[in-house]
Amino acid sequence: MKLSMIIPLKDEILRLPDSIRSVLLFRSSLHAFEMELILVDDGSIDGTAEVIAPLISGSAGVTLVRHKRNMGKGRAIQSGVFACSGDVILFSDADLSTPLSEVQSLYEKIHEGYDVVIGSRALPESNIVMRQPLYKHLAGKASNVLIRSVLGIPFKDTQCGFKMFTASAARSLFSDLRMARWSFDYEILYKAVRQKYRVAEVGVTWENSPHSTVRARDYLRCLVDLFLIRFTYSRAGKLLLQEHSLTEPYR
């Protein structure tokens, strides 16, 4: 089995070196399967790509994909998915808020026959080492209630940045992604449920990063996107997209 790990990057010059070293050390400890690392620089302007180069120089199975301009986290992961060669695809946030030791618990579910496995901070077995600021925690809780109500999906935590897919499921779900930024997570899960993929939610260890780039306005945009997703995948939305050629398949 070959695992492809995608890490989207946007101005990560401060925390990136430690994260890459951790991933490469983790990879060297694996015996049960092969692992490749796909780094996607999403239009960084702080020299992130220049810092990456010496860190990955001489490392086989490490690929750097670059966006000339910032396109959003969803687009970065989409690019990574179509640059992968693994049988199983995992994406993780650059800060490794969920430790790499959790890879095994997600893979066990893939091995059981699930197509999509999502890390969760909201299950009884989840282990939160350091919590988010109260306003983010409350905003996340309220957002999840709306997501579950509007989209009709059952997951307790759609936004944890640690998700694993079979390669075929990942390519299908990301092939015509509409939401380029933070709301791509629940678009993917909404599509997975509609397409009858087997989805498992697994409690993971998680530690809040003080350098998180999520802002209050991002929560507001995600709420707008929530209703756009519902409309886009409705019959009326599909007809409108076809009429005006507004689809955005991966190219």
Domain ranges, residue 189: 2-244
Residue 120, beta-bridge partner list: 203
Whose tokens are 């239009």? That residue is 43
Q: Is the pTM of this model over 0.95?
A: no
Q: For 99-117, what is each residue's pLDDT tens digit?
A: 999 999 999 999 999 999 9
Number of domains in the chain: 1
Neighbours of 246 (CB within 10 A): 11
| Model pLDDT, residue 116 | 98
pLDDT at residue number 238? 58
Which pLDDT does position 3 carry in this prediction? Answer: 97
- Per-residue pLDDT reduced to its tens digit, 149-195: 899 999 999 999 999 999 999 999 999 899 998 899 999 999 999 99
**Rounded-to-integer distance, Cα 38 and Cα 215, Å:** 26
Q: Is there a domain that residue 46 lies in?
A: yes
Lowest mean pLDDT among 38-42, 67-71, 187-191, 238-242: 238-242
Of 38, 72, 74, nearest in space to 185 by CA: 74
The answer as to whether 227 is a domain residue is yes
Asked whether the predicted pLDDT for residue 244 surpasses 50, the reply is no
- Residue 248: predicted pLDDT: 47
Residue 249 is assigned to a structural domain of this protein: no
251 domain residue, yes or no: no
What is the domain-level CATH number for residue 139?
3.90.550.10
* Beta strands at 199-203 and 116-120: parallel, antiparallel or unpaired: parallel
